[in-house]
Amino acid sequence: MKHSAIRLTFGFLLATILYGCAPEQHVYSADPVYARVVDADTNKPLEGVAVVAYWELYQGSITGDGMPCGAANVEEAVTDKDGWFHIPGWGPINGPCGIMRNGNPLVYLFKSGYVYQRKAGGVGFNTNKPVSVAQVWWNGQTIKLSIFTDINYHDIGPGTYWTNFSAINTDLGLFITYMPTQCNWKMIPNMLRALELERRTFSKAVGYPIDGITGELVYQDQWFLKIATQCGSPKAFIEGLLK
């Protein structure tokens, strides 16, 4: 079987290391995240944009070196006919590991045919208690997505639409492939459906299976079941999204 340029398999080799959690616990909460998404050229609202928010926990100091050790939370939304999405706030909760650094949440926006976009938030610290509150400064504002010009599903070379598609797959792998026991893939069905449809379009065009994050979930189904039995079958989950 041929394989595409994306290979997330290396993540499986590091998963247990990256998911190792520090014993110290902190308390976290998050403000809601909401914005309007429009076409960058027409300013018309974009319906059906998949939006995922990921609150990352980091093992290490606030500004020093370290590595992701878990997710405080993962949520998703889909823009409505007016282009709006809303992800509710949550917490306070006891984090399973590490600390929540500035830049949280990381928000990913994807719609087929458009340039994938990632936005970051910020963390405010309560000086009286060990509580971190994740916030975004761009709440209520307009996010513009640009149409990707010259889309060619047959071309998976550098600088093509394939590169754009690869970027979001790689980013999502940070809290799916690297954190298998958290079952984070179950939290983002709309995003995974959109990515699987796009992956299948690429696969049909090039004539062999393209991986991506949904491809890894399907192909490595038995590995995920072995590592995280409580999550169920990712292959069955992905296939169920398209029925």
Domain boundaries, the chain: 10-241
Report whether 71 contacts 182 (CB < 8 A): yes
Model pLDDT, residue 43: 98
Span 191-202, pLDDT tens digits = 999 999 999 999
State residue 139's pLDDT score. Answer: 95
What per-residue confidence (pLDDT) applies to 98? Answer: 81
DSSP state, residue 95 = -
Nearest to 130 by CA among 95, 106, 105: 95
165 and 116 Cβ atoms separated by less than 8 Å: yes
- Please say whether the beta carbons of 38 and 143 come within 8 A: yes
Question: What pLDDT score does 63 carry?
Answer: 53
Average pLDDT, the chain: 87
Helix (H, G, I), strand (E, B) or coil at 190: helix
State the Cα–Cα distance between residues 201 and 180, nearest whole angstrom: 26
> Average of pLDDT values for 160-184?
95
**Is residue 216 scored above 50 in pLDDT?**
yes
pLDDT digits (tens, 9 = 90+) for 101-124: 788 999 999 999 999 999 999 876
From the CB of residue 149, how many other CB atoms can be counted at a distance below 10 Å? Answer: 7
pTM higher than 0.75, yes or no? yes
Identify the burial level of 198 via C-beta atoms within 10 angstroms of its C-beta, where 0-12 means exposed, 13-18 middle and 19 or more buried.
Answer: buried
Q: Quick one: what percent of the chain has pLDDT higher than 70?
A: 84
Task: Classify residue 171 by burial, with Cβ atoms within 10 Å: 0-12, 13-18, 19+.
Answer: middle
Tell me, what DSSP letter sits at residue 18? H
100 falls in which pLDDT band (50, 70, 90)?
confident
Intra-chain end-to-end CA distance of the chain, in Å: 26
pLDDT of residue 73: 95
